[in-house]
Amino acid sequence: MIALRRLPLLLAALLVAGPLAAADAWSPAKPIRLIVGYAPGSGADQVGRLVANKLQETFRQGVIVDNKPGAGGAIGAQEVARAAADGYTLLLAALPQIAIAPASNQSLPYQPQKDFAPITELVGTDLVLITNPPKVPANSVAEFVTWAKAQPVVFMGDPGPGTVGHFGSFVFANALKLKIESVHYKSTGDSMTGMLSGDINAQFVPHAVALAQVKAGKLRALVTTGPSRSALFPDAPTFKEAGYPDLEFTSWYAIFAPAKTPTEILDRINAEAVKAVQSPDLRAKLEDAGLRVTGTSRDDFARQVKNDTVRWGKIVQASGFKEQN
């Protein structure tokens, strides 16, 4: 009788313990390697290191950032695609590697939809349209459009073909019937040098990249591409506020695992990564860098990846871009 009376209490204890046990089902027994397909000091590298440092508070075995730059992020992505699906090799990816590259690079050595399991979007990366004031007499995006339409051609810079800056410029110019010529640089730093020298008229860059030069008055920020204004450029409206609601476009940094990684591992990494970016100290650092903290669920992010791949694939096709080997 005593045992029967205790049975409900035992069952209740098991029900409470079940979710806790499931949440702790996977704990790394060795360091996790977070591969970044871009060079040290890049935006992806900075986000990767901030997140890795925070994750080490939970994953005590360590989270090591491993830079594998080259081929627009394809070298690093390929390595993760071929890695064991055991949670110890992850990819810190940018949107172009996943959603643009399949359409812009016909020799891509991996298939994002088949080779990776989306874990979470860490942050959104909005861009800002910047101009060189002595070269472009415009104080707003509307004035820029008026000026641009009076030019035989507008030189739009970007950090390389296949980037969000590249195809974002196409979206902008195509919608507003501007005649542009894309000027592809090897890096964001090179494109900013071209911007300051007046070799190009305008370009879309991540907020943090433009901040110092805009504050110094050397460049002008006209409009931000994201869903809300940036704290770094409070006077720069969104495209929607400026009267162009269909021109919003953003990028992101996110974590992926090799396909076929067990669900319990994906869930644990998602939970810890979301908790990391939502923590007050890391959130403040990311927002100070001009990033929008998101930290999405696996299901929501998987849907977003599919939608972004379709959208950017259509943009690439409409642009007529052909990769150059």
CA distance 201 to 177: 16
Structure tokens at 230: 């940036």
Rounded (5°) CA angle 159-163-165 = 70
Last residue of a domain, one of 221, 247, 273: 247
Question: Does residue 18 sit within a domain?
Answer: no
User: For residue 73, what are the domain limits?
Assistant: 31-124+251-319
One domain, residues 243 and 133:
yes
- For the cut 70, the answer to whether the pLDDT of residue 18 exceeds it is no
One domain, residues 158 and 176:
yes
Question: Does residue 201 sit within a domain?
Answer: yes
Domain count, the chain: 2
Q: So what's the pLDDT on residue 324?
A: 59
* pTM > 0.75: yes or no: yes
- For the cut 80, the answer to whether the pLDDT of residue 325 exceeds it is no
Mind listing the pLDDT tens digit for each residue in 113-126? 999 999 999 999 99
Question: Does residue 241 sit within a domain?
Answer: yes
Who has greater pLDDT, 15 or 111? 111
Structure tokens at 112: 């994002």
Among 275, 273, 132, CA closest to 191? 132
One domain, residues 257 and 120:
yes
Mind listing the pLDDT tens digit for each residue in 126-176? 999 999 999 999 999 999 999 999 999 999 999 999 999 999 999 999 999
Mind listing the pLDDT tens digit for each residue in 293-310? 999 999 999 999 999 999
Q: So what's the pLDDT on residue 323?
A: 76
Assign 3-class secondary structure to the chain.
CHHHHHHHHHHHHHHHHHHHHHHCCCCCCCCEEEEECCCCCCHHHHHHHHHHHHHCCCCCCCEEEEECCCHHHHHHHHHHHCCCCCCCEEEEEEHHHHHHHHHHCCCCCCCHHHHEEEEEEEEEEEEEEEECCCCCCCCCHHHHHHHHHCCCCEEEEECCCCCHHHHHHHHHHHHHCCCEEEEECCCHHHHHHHHHHCCCCEEEEEHHHHHHHHHCCCCEEEEECCCCCCCCCCCCCECCCCCCHHHCCEEEEEEEEECCCCHHHHHHHHHHHHHHHHCHHHHHHHHHCCCEECCCCHHHHHHHHHHHHHHHHHHHHHHCCCCCC
- For the cut 50, the answer to whether the pLDDT of residue 77 exceeds it is yes
CA distance 235 to 128: 12
One domain, residues 241 and 160:
yes
Q: So what's the pLDDT on residue 195?
A: 95
> For residue 143, how many other CB atoms are within 10 A of its CB?
14
Average pLDDT over residues 60-70: 95
Torsion sign across C-alpha atoms 281, 37, 308, 113: negative
One domain, residues 149 and 86:
no
Question: Does residue 312 sit within a domain?
Answer: yes
Last residue of a domain, one of 196, 212, 247: 247
Q: So what's the pLDDT on residue 145?
A: 97
Give percent of the chain above pLDDT 70.
92
Structure tokens at 210: 């433009």
CATH code assigned at 74: 3.40.190.150
Question: Does residue 3 sit within a domain?
Answer: no
- In one letter, which amino acid is 292? R
**What is the CA 118 to chain-centroid distance, rounded?**
13
Last residue of a domain, one of 197, 223, 247: 247
